[in-house]
Amino acid sequence: MTRLVVLCIDPRESVDADENYNDGNTVFVRVLAGNVNSIPRTIDALKKEYDLTQTITATHGGCAAIAEVTDALAGRPICGFHVDSELTSQFRGKGVTGRKELEELNPALQAERAALLGLKNVKPVFMPEANLVAKTEGHHVAVVVKPSTLEISKILSAAGIANPGLAYVVQTQYADESAASLEVAVRRGGVKQIMVIGRENEKINEEVRWISELDFVKEKGVKVIPKPINLDAKPKSKSM
Ligand SMILES: [Zn+2]
């Protein structure tokens, strides 16, 4: 029996994840705006790996990705191709165009998607920006790591990142399902370094190569580096 929590990549959501959801039996997925729509293969893989009995689609106020949606719906230019193709389309025709209203619509929209992907007992949760920790100023990095039940602050500190407030965190099973998230981190968050974290036996160098070829990574001269770490996963609880 495992709970799945889908959260945004926003650095402030790392604190939200550790404080409100980490019970050792919750697997975390992080994607821009908590956009379940863009990660069908990750969801499929997790359904096979875990006995998922509950899903929470947790999104937040002050979301940079929803700012992109707001711009797209108003016909203003947005940050890039990946974002447009994966995020904005699902918000069209809902009769809502303001940023605040779109942010509040988002968790239910993602919950609907999650149910369509066959997830059970799905619950939408919205975290207003006022309830999040303050934004951290400084040079942010983006971190790519597989979905897991581990505390995100532990993963980050094992990778040498002491302050979780400085890291956008992308947790999908497949590199290509992380492209739109990384695009927002790079183009809107000004990220100059992407760290691919994985255990020694994971093929993180392949992911580093794949991410290095993304258009916005090349264009902005972003450094993509592999970061092998040693952290034990919690035991799996699938009973089959
Ligand atoms: Zn966000």
Spatial contact of 29 and 46, defined as CB atoms under 8 Å apart: yes
b (16+ CB within 10 A) / e for 126-137? bbeeeebeeeee
Say how many Å lie between the CA of residue 158 and the centre of ligand 1.
Answer: 24
Largest CA distance in the chain: 50
How high is the pLDDT of residue 235? 46
What DSSP state is assigned to residue 45? H
Say how many Å lie between the CA of residue 100 and the centre of ligand 1.
Answer: 12
Q: In terms of residues, how long is the chain?
A: 240
Say how many Å lie between the CA of residue 37 and the centre of ligand 1.
Answer: 15
Say how many Å lie between the CA of residue 31 and the centre of ligand 1.
Answer: 9
How high is the pLDDT of residue 34? 96
How high is the pLDDT of residue 137? 86
Cα torsion through 49, 177, 9, 200, rounded to 10: 60
- Name the amino acid, one letter, at 96: V
Nearest-CA neighbor of 127 among 58, 33, 69, 64?
58
* Tens-binned pLDDT, residue by residue, of the chain (240 aa): 999 999 999 999 999 999 999 999 999 999 999 999 899 999 999 999 999 999 999 999 999 999 999 999 999 988 877 777 778 888 999 999 999 999 999 999 999 999 999 999 999 999 999 999 888 888 899 999 999 999 999 999 999 999 999 999 999 999 999 999 999 999 999 999 999 999 877 889 999 999 999 999 999 999 999 999 987 654 444 444
Say how many Å lie between the CA of residue 132 and the centre of ligand 1.
Answer: 11
Say how many Å lie between the CA of residue 62 and the centre of ligand 1.
Answer: 7
> Sign (positive/negative) of CA torsion 37, 78, 14, 158?
positive
How high is the pLDDT of residue 7? 96
Say how many Å lie between the CA of residue 76 and the centre of ligand 1.
Answer: 19
How high is the pLDDT of residue 236? 47
Say how many Å lie between the CA of residue 151 and the centre of ligand 1.
Answer: 19
> Sign (positive/negative) of CA torsion 40, 44, 45, 51?
positive
How high is the pLDDT of residue 81? 76
Spatial contact of 46 and 171, defined as CB atoms under 8 Å apart: no
Spatial contact of 196 and 211, defined as CB atoms under 8 Å apart: yes
How far is Cα 204 from Cα 110, in angstroms, rounded to an integer? 29
Nearest-CA neighbor of 54 among 16, 8, 6, 4?
4
Say how many Å lie between the CA of residue 95 and the centre of ligand 1.
Answer: 21
- Name the amino acid, one letter, at 140: H
Say how many Å lie between the CA of residue 143 and the centre of ligand 1.
Answer: 15
Spatial contact of 98 and 69, defined as CB atoms under 8 Å apart: no
Sheet holding 122-127, edge to edge: 26-30, 2-7, 52-60, 122-127
- Report all structural domains of the chain as residue ranges with CATH numbers, in order of start: 2-228 (3.40.1050.10)
Residues near ion ligand 1 (Cβ under 5 Å):
8, 10, 63
How far is Cα 52 from Cα 5, in angstroms, rounded to an integer? 10
pTM, two decimals, is: 0.92
Say how many Å lie between the CA of residue 119 and the centre of ligand 1.
Answer: 22
Say how many Å lie between the CA of residue 65 and the centre of ligand 1.
Answer: 6
Say how many Å lie between the CA of residue 233 and the centre of ligand 1.
Answer: 26
